[in-house]
Amino acid sequence: MPSTRLHVACLHPEIPQNTGNIGRICVGLGMHLHLVHPLGFSVSQKAVRRAGVDHWKKVHLTEHADLNRFLSWAHGRRIHMFSRHGHRPYTSIRFRKGDVLVFGRESVGLPQFLLDQYGAFFLPTPGPIRSLNLSNTVAVVSYAAMLQIEPGLFKVSG
């Protein structure tokens, strides 16, 4: 695997299929997945592996025992939080290699103290929905970041 382009962190994910899909996105884009415990499932569950298809075994995965340990790991890195309660659109970020993209739980999002400390970015949802699916949000943000970091990956050859 090439050096890590980006880090995707899911704080206390609850739905194994979302995490499996996020793992698949990470494999496809050469990103490192971080799962922060407690999780709402076991990563060995069939639902995680099924959603990740045969790619789950290729996920560059780090599990953090709790939020404090994750924040210790992330200290000194560029961290971008994503929430429907964010005040800046994700398109305003100038991504860099090694950035950490942080997403909250499906049911409640990120803890308020993290929003207060780091601020957050949002994806516009002008339609009548509360929020987007977590794995869809990770995909949109990850591809936008990769377009900035390594635009050559998206050039069509032939």
Cα angle vertex 107, ends 105, 113, to 5°? 55
3-state secondary structure of 9: strand
Closest CA to 19 of 102, 135, 107: 135
- Residue 48: the pLDDT is 67
- Residue 1: the pLDDT is 39
Specify the CATH architecture of the domain 7-150: 3-Layer(aba) Sandwich (3.40)
The pTM of this model reads: 0.92
In angstroms, the Cα distances linking 66 to 10, 112, 131, 144 are 11, 17, 25, 28
135/22 Cα distance (integer angstroms):
5
- Residue 104: the pLDDT is 97
Give yes or no for a contact between 32 and 70, defined as CB atoms under 8 angstroms apart. Answer: no
Strand partners, 89: 122
Give yes or no for a contact between 82 and 103, defined as CB atoms under 8 angstroms apart. Answer: yes
Q: Which phi and psi angles does 81 have, rounded to 5°? A: -95, 145
Any idea what DSSP says for residue 109? B
Question: How confident is the prediction along the chain (158 residues), in pLDDT tens digits per residue?
Answer: 345 789 999 999 999 889 989 999 999 999 999 999 999 888 776 766 665 567 878 999 999 999 999 999 999 999 999 999 999 999 999 999 999 999 999 999 999 999 999 999 999 988 888 888 999 999 999 999 999 999 888 877 66
- Residue 119: the pLDDT is 96
Helix, strand and coil content of the chain, in percent to the nearest 5, comes to 40, 20, 40
Determine the residue type at 111. P
Q: Which residue bears the tokens 């499932």?
A: 41
Structure token pair of residue 128: 């009548």
